[in-house]
A and B are shown apart, each in its own frame.
Chain A
Amino acid sequence: MKTRIITRSTCKPVICEPGNSAAFKTGTWRSLKPVFEPAHCSNCLLCWLYCPDMSVNLTDGRVSGFNFDYCKGCGICALECPGKKGAKAIRMEKEENA
Chain B
Amino acid sequence: MTSTLKIKNLASKENRLAPGHRMCQGCGAAIVVKMVLLAIDKPVVACSPTGCLEVTTCISDYTAWKIPWIHSAFENAAVTLAGVETMYRALKKRGKMSHDMAFVVFAGDGGTYDIGLQSLSGVMERGHDLLYICYDNGAYMNTGTQRSGATPFGASTTTSPAGSAVPGKLQVRKDITKIMAAHNIPYAAQASPSHHLDLMRKVQKAVSIPGPKFINILSPCHRGWRSKADDAISISRLAVNTRFWPLYEIENGKTRMTHIPKEKLPLETFLRPQGRFAHLFRPENAWMLEDSQRRVDTEWEALIASGPPHTSER
Contact = CB atoms under 8 A, between A and B. Distances in A.
Interface of A: 14-15, 18-26, 29-30, 44-46, 48-55, 58, 61, 67, 69-70, 72-76, 78-80, 92
11 contacts: A20-B62, A22-B18, A23-B20, A24-B62, A50-B233, A52-B23, A52-B232, A53-B25, A54-B17, A54-B18, A76-B232
Interface of B: 7-8, 10-12, 15, 17-28, 30-31, 34-35, 38, 57, 59-67, 193, 196, 229-234
Contacts, number: 118
Nearest to A92: B230
A57 to B, nearest CB: 11
B243 to A, nearest CB: 22
A21 B18 contact: yes
A94 B24 CA distance: 19
The 10 lowest CB-CB distance pairs between A and B, nearest first, are A74-B26, A19-B18, A75-B230, A72-B25, A21-B20, A52-B30, A70-B19, A74-B25, A21-B64, A19-B66
A24 to B, nearest CB: 4
Given A19-B64, A70-B19, A76-B26, 8 more contacts: A15-B61, A15-B63, A19-B65, A44-B7, A49-B7, A67-B19, A76-B31, A79-B230
A94 to B, nearest CB: 14
Nearest to B197: A49
* Interface residues of chain B: helix, strand, loop or mixed (majority): loop
A81 to B, nearest CB: 11
User: Which of B18, B24, B31 neighbours the largest number of chain A CB atoms within 10 Å of its CB?
Assistant: B18
Contact of A29 (B15, B25, B28, B34): B25
Given A72-B25, A74-B25, A78-B230, A15 B31 contact: no
Contact of B20 (A22, A30, A49, A51): A22
Contacts of A23: 20, 62
